[in-house]
Structure 1
């Protein structure tokens, strides 16, 4: 009997350890880089269709700011931007699908917040785009300030920080509104465009993109008021340090390249530079790429295939795009903005 009980106790203990290990693996998968290299591509969760950030054409070719960031990660690892594969995800499913390892990284206009890191066991490596929540209204309303929106019918996407910020803003300013919430962004836009509501709220960058899809874009105004901080960042799983470092330093390499004046057009000349900070970036001095588990020319690959931060911004959402969103806070720190990357040294 003692032998049986002892064996049963040991068996239960082993089963508990196996179960705990399985739970730990489910929550803290630390082998993304190895799995990505073995698979041969980077699976990137993106918005289903947001002009300027991530949108496919009729042939399934993706373009956008978030798309280019994924291509930059693929370039750093494989020297081939086409190794980035895109998985369209709704806002309501994005974090769950990352946790479930359907994608390796989210590059999907996601706001970095404390609760999202603590509640989802996720990590936001660095801010790719400094944004803030705003409002779009028909020009016919003749309103030029968000403080005049009292009594508005506001279309908003449910289960987002946007919905929470909307409630905070109206409550803080003693204003009333009627909330019209929808699970899918497409339904939010359709409701606004059809006149079911007289105000649409979202991240300001998203409002510029959504306006392009309205039946009469010129009839709508984006107010100057910004009511929240919305630091948009790529997202990875927690405790996956090797992968997190690659994602983070991919962005920092792009920002540092712009600061140093290195572009996709002059990268070959940069390889000949004798300036120490340029040499460290392009890999002719130091072992910074190898320290990330990559090659010496990891940053060269990024800049050659995708470009520096400014190039990616301008062609997708800035001066060279249909959106023409001013750089604003996303200008470099030494040019009036807040974009700032730690040095490679």
Structure 2
């Protein structure tokens, strides 16, 4: 008698039961009929409202993509604006389902807070911005300077570490509300402003009256891998958010866009067939419709489309892809395979 056959059958049965089992977050999201996402109170390119209250940005697109994957409808995404001190409590308490809020994934956050990061949707680093009129060309010239920053972030520790390593000192000017902090910097209450470089460029371009009067200094003083976070202990929900992000990246890798996705359904490429659900299996394993990734790309777009309209050449920020280019083009964006 071949004892491996019943063991294999039992293992497959168990795996199938696990894939079909919905976790508490997924159950709650399905019951209320929408995905609640925590976003910033306004960072251009990531999550920012226009004059009519319509929110756009890379993080907003990720929230919409999760809704498209789960409900087949990107409009079933709801946004909760959160400041730096509110964001983790809101996720821990269940006020939001996922935090795609330009948040750095660190060991402390991924362990001690009961949260987990499920991927990186923007590779960033901390920088320092100054007014050109003070004549500073390097952060090394800021010994004793007053520096504006927000509480509840990694920026103060990073800044302290960098200055200590260089045997320099600084005076933190800590202000909770983002708009007040920007006004304080513009008014000259501090010599410099520090946060993620992407946010500094957004602030300089969209929040300061004369962008050309300011410059982001050349030093990158930390690594800041930004990405969505979920609560620990709900593996299926974490998987849905994780693979939503990977689907956007892998769609770009295979040239699947919001404009050609219907034509790509006819592609003979087996990888494309799996991504778009022509070959079934991935959707069942995630507990969503087989057209989950098709719906993401059709309604939201691939990662490259999202980047270009929110941060890249199709946006006011005109940022280069840099580290956020695909791995095949010199960047770090490398999708886990949908197979």
Tell me if both proteins adopt one fold, taking TM over 0.5 as the criterion: yes
Distance 1:79 1:335 in 2: 31
* Alignment map for 1:1-345 (pairs within 5 Å): 30-211=23-204, 212-345=206-339
| Deviation per residue, 1:156-180 (Å, 9 max, x gap) | 1122101110111110011122211
Q: Which runs of 4+ in 1 moved over 6 A?
A: none
| Deviation per residue, 1:173-193 (Å, 9 max, x gap) | 111222111122222211101
With 50-59 and 229-238 compared, the bigger mean Cα shift is at: 50-59
Distance 1:344 1:304 in 2: 17
Distance 1:83 1:309 in 2: 20
Q: TM-score by structure 2 length?
A: 0.91
- 1:19 aligned partner: none
- 2:3 aligned partner: none
Distance 1:317 1:309 in 2: 11
- Provide the secondary structure at the position in 1 that maps to 2:168: coil
- 1:24 aligned partner: none
- Provide the secondary structure at the position in 1 that maps to 2:193: strand
Unaligned residue ranges in structure 2 (runs of 5+):
1-21
Larger Rg: 1
Unaligned residue ranges in structure 1 (runs of 5+):
1-28
- Provide the secondary structure at the position in 1 that maps to 2:319: coil
Distance 1:38 1:111 in 2: 30
Q: TM-score by structure 1 length?
A: 0.90
1:78 shift after superposition? 1.1
Distance 1:93 1:58 in 2: 24
- Provide the secondary structure at the position in 2 that maps to 1:70: helix
- Provide the secondary structure at the position in 2 that maps to 1:341: coil
CA contact (8 A) 2:84 2:151 kept: no
Count of aligned pairs between the two proteins: 317
CA contact (8 A) 2:43 2:203 kept: yes
Distance 1:311 1:278 in 2: 18
- Provide the secondary structure at the position in 1 that maps to 2:331: coil
| Deviation per residue, 1:31-54 (Å, 9 max, x gap) | 111111111100011101111111
1:208 shift after superposition? 1.1
Query: Aligned Cα RMSD in Å?
Result: 1.2
- Provide the secondary structure at the position in 2 that maps to 1:37: helix
